[in-house]
């Protein structure tokens, strides 16, 4: 129902724009004068002026409303130059300045929409949004970081115990604004990132598994690297794990992110692996 209302509103806006323009078939603009609904011809607005106007209209309105006004506006909105200039003005650019995204409109919208789809990734809200899969030993816990994190805004982490501890999140792409047609047609890169660190005085184990799932939650593609082991008496380094899913095929509707681990010396308490700042992002085709 809401989508129909939005479409009707867009049609009304297009109609109002056309009425205000009063554009004739000859390309001249017709300016309405007075209450008597009389019109007089005025020279067409220069293309450069129209382009500047469009660049100052919100992007979604440009596509859904302005593009439908006339062929000239459609051509401007569909041009790569328009979206490249929008990117320039809004500080949106590829990570490598030597790379051309190709489709600048697609690059613009995916970049603007890009965000971390993992909820509560930094343990700021205890275990809210996470599903505990395994809760071994003295169970999962959250605590302040023992060693400063590369990003100083990340101050907390999730901590495992001497029995295997695993937790996960299931991301519904439709609910996050990425519908099936978008995912199947564009197959945008899906970037995964996770951070882990050991305690200096206890060995531990880290593991992660990220699955791209279909509408029945059956795996289409899986990233599951070998478990990582840290030895006792280390300097508690933070390690980042990253992976990018590309060309994964059609049908992806959910993403399941699972990670955790344990200590390897069976010590009571929370001496196992620490994890924090996990992320899952839908990215433009041009991604580092």
Query: Phi/psi at 167 (nearest 5 deg)?
Result: -140, 160
Residues 182 and 65 in one domain: no
Give 254 or 186, the one with higher predicted confidence. 254
Residues 153 and 98 in one domain: no
pTM for this entry = 0.78
Q: Look up residue 197 and give its two tokens.
A: 């660190």
Q: Cβ(202)–Cβ(232) under 8 Å? A: yes
pLDDT of residue 286: 62
Residues 274 and 157 in one domain: yes
Q: Is residue 126 part of a domain?
A: no
Tell me the average pLDDT across 6-19: 52
The yes-or-no verdict on residue 166 having pLDDT over 90 is yes
Residues 271 and 220 in one domain: yes
Q: Is residue 211 part of a domain?
A: yes
- For the stretch 27-62, pLDDT in tens is 444 434 344 544 444 457 788 888 998 999 999 899
Query: What is the dihedral angle through the alpha carbons of 2, 3, 5, 11, rounded to the nearest 10 degrees?
Result: 160
Q: Is residue 31 part of a domain?
A: yes
Cα gap 34→116, rounded to integer Å: 53
Residues 204 and 231 in one domain: yes
Decide: helix, strand or coil at residue 185: helix
CATH of the domain at 242: 2.60.120.260
Residues 135 and 249 in one domain: yes
Q: Is residue 287 part of a domain?
A: no
Residues 49 and 191 in one domain: no
What residues contact 35, with CB distance under 8 A and at least 6 apart?
A: none
Q: Domain containing 55: what range?
A: 2-113
Residues 101 and 175 in one domain: no
Q: Is residue 61 part of a domain?
A: yes
Residues 107 and 168 in one domain: no
How many domains does the chain divide into? Answer: 2
Least confident of 17-26, 227-236, 242-251, 266-275: 17-26
Residues 99 and 187 in one domain: no
Residues 211 and 93 in one domain: no
pLDDT of residue 17: 52
Residues 59 and 90 in one domain: yes
- For the stretch 56-78, pLDDT in tens is 999 989 989 988 988 888 999 99
- For the stretch 78-112, pLDDT in tens is 999 998 999 899 888 887 777 787 888 888 888 88
pLDDT of residue 9: 52
CATH of the domain at 60: 1.20.1280.50
């Amino acid at each position: 129902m809401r989508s129909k209302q939005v479409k009707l509103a867009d049609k009304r806006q297009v109609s109002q724009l056309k009425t205000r323009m009063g554009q004739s078939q000859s390309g001249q603009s017709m300016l309405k004068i007075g209450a008597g609904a009389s019109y007089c011809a005025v020279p067409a607005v220069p293309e450069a002026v129209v382009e500047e106007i469009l660049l100052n209209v919100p992007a979604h309105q440009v596509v859904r409303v302005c593009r439908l006004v006339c062929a000239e506006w459609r051509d401007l909105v569909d041009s790569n130059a328009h979206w490249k200039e929008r990117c320039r003005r809004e500080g949106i650019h590829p990570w490598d300045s030597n790379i051309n995204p190709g489709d600048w409109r697609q690059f613009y919208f995916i970049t603007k929409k890009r965000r971390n789809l993992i909820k509560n990734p930094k343990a700021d809200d205890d275990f809210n949004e996470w599903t505990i899969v395994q809760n071994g030993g003295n169970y999962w816990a959250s605590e302040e970081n023992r060693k400063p994190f590369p990003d100083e805004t990340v101050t907390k982490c999730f901590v495992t115990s001497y029995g295997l501890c695993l937790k996960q999140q299931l991301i519904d792409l439709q609910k996050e604004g990425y519908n099936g047609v978008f995912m199947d047609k564009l197959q945008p890169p899906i970037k995964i990132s996770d951070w882990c660190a050991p305690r200096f005085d206890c060995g531990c184990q880290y593991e992660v598994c990220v699955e791209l799932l279909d509408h029945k939650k059956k795996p289409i593609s899986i990233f599951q690297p070998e478990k990582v082991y840290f030895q006792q008496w280390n300097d508690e380094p933070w390690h980042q794990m990253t992976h990018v899913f590309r060309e994964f095929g059609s049908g992806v509707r959910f993403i399941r992110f699972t990670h955790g681990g344990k200590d390897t010396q069976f010590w009571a308490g929370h001496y196992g692996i620490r994890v924090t700042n996990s992320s899952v992002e839908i990215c433009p085709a041009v991604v580092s």
